[in-house]
Structure 1
Amino acid sequence: MKKTILSFATRNFECSVRADSKKIGSRQNALLTVLKKREKLCKLLPRSELKFTYEEKLTSLSSELSALNLCPLGNLKSLPIENPIFFENTSYEIEIRFVDLVTSCLPTHHLQRIQGEFSVNAVRTAKEMAWLRLNLNFKNDLGWFTVPFSYVKNGITIKQSLSFEVLPFKMDMEQDLNAIYRVLDKAHPLLRFSWKSATEQNFNRSRSQHEPFELLWLAEFKSLNERMQSGYKQVLNAPHNRLMPEDIRLKAERLKGKIPNKLAEKARANIQASLLNRRYALKQKRLSLDTPENQFIKYALNAISHKLELIEQKVSVLDKAITKKGNASVFSEAFYANLYELNKPYQKFKRFPLFKQISDYKGLNSESLVLQQKSGYSLIYQSWHQLKYYLDVLGNEASVSVKNIAELYEVWCFLQLADILQSPPFNFELKGENPSLVGRLDKQKMEYGCKKGNDSLFLFSRGNGDQEVTIELMREFSIGKKNNNAKNHQNSYVSWMAEHKPDIFMKVTFADGLEYVWLFDAKYRIDSETNDRDMVPVDALAQMHRYRDAIIYRHNADTLSRPVFGAYALYPGYFIDQYEKNPYHQSIEQIDIGAFPMLPGQNHKWLVEFLKEIIEADSSPKTIREESPTYFMQSINIKKRSSTKILPKGIYSNNKYAF
């Protein structure tokens, strides 16, 4: 049952936040436990805050779950909250009720799926005030969430927004999440960004090479917009001019002042010869606005305006492609209106007479003190360079939408497993060219995605000749339903009832030529019923059973086998040390179903020891091949595992198969 966990009032509106208070309390306790486990000796939760775009006068404030008595009433641009109340995978109801003087209101979120979650009484009536209500579950989106809206008071339209940070309770936002981002940035600096995420995050400086990426450019531009506009206003009020050399041709009677001797003699001779219409080339200087600095200002203005128009075109094409397939559009009308409002002042600047007198930008021959120091010019010049190298400077004020943490955690687990295989004691080497998990920029989605299936193959090798062991590592290898294509092909993986896409598909080919498959599934989940230690939810383990039972290997038209020897969940469990036994060690040893905790900063000892058991360093080409009618084969290494003694068919008795 939802209760009011936070409420406050300003001169213009009242805001209340409702949620399940017991669930919020458990989230707070879980986060505190997470921080304590990471040896952050804190007795209090991290503080949070609620931000306004523009200053509001606070008139009242109350909360059941946060100590707010230290917050003074009055004009505020941010409201400090003692304890965090906004968490991932939690449902909230946010209601904003406006005062009598407000005649209408409108939500203005840039994503259509969020805009569609608003309930609105847009116009005040005699019986009811204008109000907005948003019901939302943040799911796995982390970072700052913004509730933007506009309202009309006394005939004046006012734009305002409320922003707050959505925190995880399974990991430490500062320590764990940033470590995951560093690994992903190493794979590709633009992989984690997304247009479709509801939350945004601030970022530290990066020096990675990058390709043009409109999402980051737009985020950085929004943070610099006010500076840029201020700079152009100052330039237009006091434009720079200088004495510029100019070639002119004049008649003799218009030659004045000191002129070169040769030119004077030539003019005198022509006059004596009655050649009065002759013109004479002369260099002179005059004040001009067509300076290199003004040319640069005009060039930057045109480039910014064109970039905003290009983003609007690309986003519009994306939305049209999505709606043609019968899906709802990604971006709301408010997003397009915001782009229009961003570009509007720059379109206005372009129409000023000043820029009609200025020619095209030809570059600067040397450093310009005007661009570096002069009022207005320096603002534009510095902001332009930040936009030009947006990824290098992103982080101080810009915030960018990021993919949900569950998706990023899955990619991180894949990269970590690949790194473990290349490190001691395994020391596998990548074969062929260095593979990339990240594909090209999706021009329709305007974001980078990860490769899947055979396209994501990482091929590892160790040893030579008859001592060689190879490992194929693939992400989301799709094993579909039984179909005619699979039915008519030998040596293929099939599934009869449903399509299966394990996050990590690992096939090991030993020196004896036998191949075995192990599956790993990244689960960004922790069982809420276990308080003493982090465990994976039971349904995640049930899915591992389904993988092993459902995935079949077709050797030929008549011979089938179950190739998956084990399936394991990877989850963000934290254990101070992994010198004790994995809580899932018994199920892993007996049936090869279980889970391994995976978090940044840990040595992943349990997973490494498991991999050592199934990929022994002294792999021998000698094998014992035992073939049942189900084509179930074992090598020396695999035969040692208890799970291989549990056959999928028949009865095991006296070391012989019976059917």
Structure 2
Amino acid sequence: MKRMASLPTGSDRLLEIRTEIIDVVIKSKGKQTASVWQKMTGSSSLKVVARNLEQVSIPTLEMTEQYVDHRGISVHDYQIKPLFFEQTDYIITIQARDRQALEFHSNSGLIEERVSRVLDDNPFLLSGVINFGNSVGFADLSIFADGKEVLSVRLEVYPTKISYKDDYQEMMADINNMVSESVLDFMKKTYQVFVPDHKRNDVPAVFFTILQAIYDKYLRAAKRILAVPHHKLMTEHEVLPHYKAARIDTSSAKWLQKHPEQVRRADVGIQAEKVLALRKQITYDTQENRLVKFMLKATVRRIDDFTRRYIQSRQQPDEQVLAGASKMSRELQRLLGASWLSEVSDYSASKSMSLVFGMAPGYRELYKYYLMLQNGISVGGDIFHMSVRDTAQLYEYWCFIKLYDILRNHYTLKSPDIIKVDRRGVTIDLVKGKLSRVTFLNTKTGERIYLAYNPSEIATQTVSQRPDNVLELEKKGSGSAYKYVFDVKYRIEMNPDGQFYPDSRPGPKVDDINTMHRYRDAIVYENPESRFTFEKTMFGAYILFPYADEEEYKDHRFYKSIETVNIGGLPFLLSATSLVTDLLEELVSDSPESAFERASLPAGIEERLKSVDWDKREVLIGFVPDDMHRKLFLNNRMYFTRRFDTINLPVRYVAL
């Protein structure tokens, strides 16, 4: 039986699978897949589970295979060059050899709906065009013949605009690390007295994320307690033969008075056959150690609960996550079973806590870390999932997180409004479509800096606008707010042509640049002091897009346009943050005059300003002595005064 083969070079067929029952072919649609595939490095995973598998054909010989046969079902794990990518169309065809009725299922409803019968009255042939959208990671395809599963394929979908093994994973780590750091820093300052409470917040994924962040310290504190435990000296009495009794006290005498049958006359004096002996020994069964045992057991239970829920909630759980959870659970159980803790009684809450937890090394630290885990974080949105598969959504979150991080490293964080506190605990409130706002302070100038994510719909005189991120700056000496749009677009023009694209280098899409013009020019507010006068508040608008080569991009037309019209694009990835950082520093350090000069002015403004005769006085400031006169002047649309210089006529306006 042949199980592995290589498809011809240049073929549009990416995967062929043949079994005794069905044939499956997946083809690329168009030339884009081939060009992306040629540039892609690294390896991806392909898993095929089937009965009576005859052949798997892949367009590369650079692959390895692990083969397992279990109860007649063969499992083949391949490590191959990436074949499947986001936002790409693929044609899939499934045909039954012996006219069995076929069914197609997938863990993605979008894909499942796209594969159907070619002819309504022919259930033996299925076909369709599938597209994974922005979802990356593993996709499961299952095929049933006459109601029985005969083939299961697990594909690994790669992003095209970012590196899957580097950028994607590090973006996930960046988001988790920043949120964890912010929350843990908050909780370190606010943790409270421990009271066992079963009504606490219970978000397993977030509990596990916090535990990952503090686990090393948590384990180190527990081991320190086991090495130098708190103990007390306990006095015990036990009835022993007289020759085994080492120490006695007044209780021994009282016991003999109650048990005279144990006393007899000896050759010399009186002798007791048995006596109540005194014994002092060290015990670790203290209230403090019972609480330590309770905390460790509770942590193990929550790890196991997280593992169970995580497996149930995902078609393809992350093996690294499961391995990490299993390792933590085993280590803590080993501490519980292979130490004096196994002899300690169960914990029961007491009215007061010993000072051991406030003073003793190890106890104090373990207590604090456990409180962090107990308080937990209630996830107000979808930011803290263990696996975000939509790369566009992930990139949008990461851009805000990174802007937040850059500003936090340069200025003082005053109000992290993405972290909210209510009676449920601490909430990470970063949700697509919901406003989140963070405040910083520039300590050098005393000016405040605001970064808003999804600042809701901004109503305008025409069409409401919804930018992703808005930076708002205070400027000393100006009462106006200076705002700048940093909009996230998970799109890039990778193959520019000179006819329709204004540059020969990769950059943002032209439609997205047009959107920046709309944001800047459409978002206006009515001046409350001068009715019917509308003013622009957006002084600049920039696209953040996933591109890594900052040096090459510096010569791009859409980068140079930032200097001239304050609209353009900026590459923004883990390895490309310097251009965005530099622009943020420039905007914050601008004086009101410099910030105003960045704005584009209407044509003819110079002539208009030159034509104004500043020596001409057309407005008379009129004094109003009381409310009666004010009503008189307004009702009659007139004003009178005894003192007036006719040289200043004509007066066109009177300001009361």
Residue aligning to 2:100: 103
Q: Could you say which residue in structure 1 is the equivalent of 2:43?
A: 47
Instruction: Quote the Cα distance in structure 2 between the aligned partners of 1:421 and 1:597.
Output: 18
1:436 counterpart (418, 422, 432): 418
Distance 1:365 1:599 in 2: 43
Matched, 1:18 2:24: no
Residue of structure 2 equivalent to 1:90: 88
Compute the displacement of 1:547 (Å): 0.6
Letter in 2 for 1:462: N
| TM-score (normalizing by structure 2) | 0.55
CA drift of 1:144 comes to 0.9
Return closer, same or farther for 1:558/1:535 CA change in 2, 3 Å cut-off.
same
Structure 1 residue 501: deviation in Å? 1.1
* Structure 2 residue corresponding to 1:653, chosen from 607, 629, 632: 607
Partner of 2:134: 140
Partner of 1:590: 564
In structure 2, the partner of 1:550 is 522
Quote the Cα distance in structure 1 between the aligned partners of 2:421 and 2:82. Answer: 37
From 5, 16, 19, the equivalent of 1:7 is: 16
Any unmatched runs of 5+ in structure 1?
33-44, 192-209, 219-298, 316-330, 336-362, 373-387, 392-398, 481-493, 620-634
Question: What SS does structure 1 have at the residue aligned with 2:606?
Answer: strand
- Structure 2 residues without counterparts, runs of 5 or longer: 1-10, 183-199, 209-297, 316-332, 343-372, 377-384, 498-503, 613-656
The equivalences for 1:376-415 within 5 A come to 402-415=388-401
Alignment-derived partner of residue 174 in structure 1 = 165
- 1:370-519 map, 5 Å: 402-423=388-409, 427-431=410-414, 433-436=415-418, 450-451=430-431, 455-463=435-443, 467-480=445-458, 494-513=459-478, 514-519=480-485
- Spell out the pairing of 1:256-335 with structure 2 (5 A cutoff): none
> Retained in 2: the 8 A contact 1:7–1:61?
yes
Please report how far the alpha carbon of residue 186 of structure 1 lies from its aligned counterpart in structure 2 after TM superposition: 2.1
- In 2, the alpha carbon distance for the partners of 1:611 and 1:304 equals 41
Distance (whole Å) between structure 2 residues aligned to residue 78 and residue 165 of structure 1: 14
Partner of 2:370: none
One-letter amino acid matched to 2:511: D
Q: 2:507 aligns with which of 509, 528, 535?
A: 535
Mapped to 1, the partners of 2:536 and 2:578 lie a distance apart of 29
Partner of residue 585, structure 2: 612
Higher relative contact order (CA 8 A, sep 6+): 1
Q: CA deviation at 1:516?
A: 0.9
1:46-97 CA-to-partner distances (Å, cap 9, x unmatched) read 2334212x3554424445x544899899975236475322111101122222
- Following superposition, the deviation at residue 182 of structure 1 comes to 1.4
CA apart distance, 1:567: 0.4
- Amino acid corresponding to residue 429 of structure 1 in structure 2: T
Query: 1:150·1:159 contact (CA, 8 Å) conserved in 2?
Result: yes
In the alignment, does 2:337 pair up with 1:367? yes
Give me the TM-score of the superposition, normalised by structure 1: 0.54
Aligned equivalents of 1:558, 1:506: Cα separation in 2: 26
The AA in structure 2 aligned to 1:90 is T
Deviations 1:497-552 (A, max 9, x none): 32211111111111113311110111111103239643111111111011112111
Shift of 1:188: 4.0
With 530-539 and 568-577 compared, the bigger mean Cα shift is at: 530-539
> Which residue does 1:246 correspond to in 2?
none
The alignment partner of 1:611 has SS state of: helix
The higher radius of gyration belongs to 2
What does the per-residue CA deviation read over 1:90-136, in whole Å, with 9 as the maximum and x for residues that have no partner? 01122222331x733333435544433331489xx9x9563443532
The amino acid of 2:33's aligned partner reads I
3-state SS, counterpart of residue 85 of structure 2: coil
1:305–1:456 Cα change, 3 Å: closer
User: Is contact 2:102–2:123 with CA below 8 Å preserved after alignment?
Assistant: no
Q: How many residues align?
A: 431
Deviations 1:298-326 (A, max 9, x none): x9xx99999999999x99xxxxxxxxxxx
Residues 67 and 83, structure 1, Cα contact 8 Å, conserved in 2 = no
Choose 451-460 or 607-616, whichever is displaced more: 451-460
Contact 2:43-2:80 within 8 A present in 1 as well:
yes
Shift of residue 463, structure 1, vs aligned partner: 3.5
User: Residues 439 and 91 (structure 1 numbering): CA distance in 2 closer, same or farther, change over 3 Å?
Assistant: farther
Which runs of structure 2 are paired with 1:343-354 in the superposition (5 Å)? none
Match for 1:166: what amino acid? V
Structure 1 contact 68–80 (Cα < 8 Å) conserved: no
Change (3 A) 1:471 1:454: farther
C-alpha displacement of 1:586: 2.4
Instruction: Return closer, same or farther for 1:105/1:609 CA change in 2, 3 Å cut-off.
Output: same
**Could you say which residue in structure 1 is the equivalent of 2:113?**
116
Name the amino acid aligned to 1:572. Answer: P
Q: How far off its partner does 1:652 sit? A: 2.9
* Contact 1:439/1:449, CA 8 A, preserved across alignment: no
Instruction: Give the superposition deviation at 1:19.
Output: 2.4
8 A Cα contact 2:442 2:448, kept in partner: yes
**RMSD between aligned residues:** 5.2
More off after superposition, 570-579 vs 65-74: 65-74
* Contact in 1 for aligned 2:45/2:78 (Cα 8 Å): yes
Distance in structure 1 (CA, Å) of the matches to 2:155 and 2:138: 5
Q: Alpha-carbon deviation of 1:469?
A: 1.4
Aligned partner of 1:119: which letter? S
Contact 2:117 2:123 in 1 (8 A): no
SS in 2 for 1:414: helix
**How far 1:563 moved relative to its partner?**
1.1
Shift of 1:365: 13
- Superposed CA offset, 1:367-425 (max 9, x none): 389xx9xxxxxxxxxxxxxxx99x9xxxxxxx9752411111111111211222233xx
**Is contact 1:439-1:450 (8 Å) kept?**
no
Letter in 1 for 2:516: M
- Say whether 1:570 aligns with 2:536: no
| Letter matched to residue 106 of structure 2 | H
Distance 1:7 1:580 in 2: 45
- Looking at structure 2, the residues matched to 80 and 152 of structure 1 have their Cα atoms a distance apart, in angstroms, of 28
Aligned partner of 1:184 among 175, 179, 194: 175
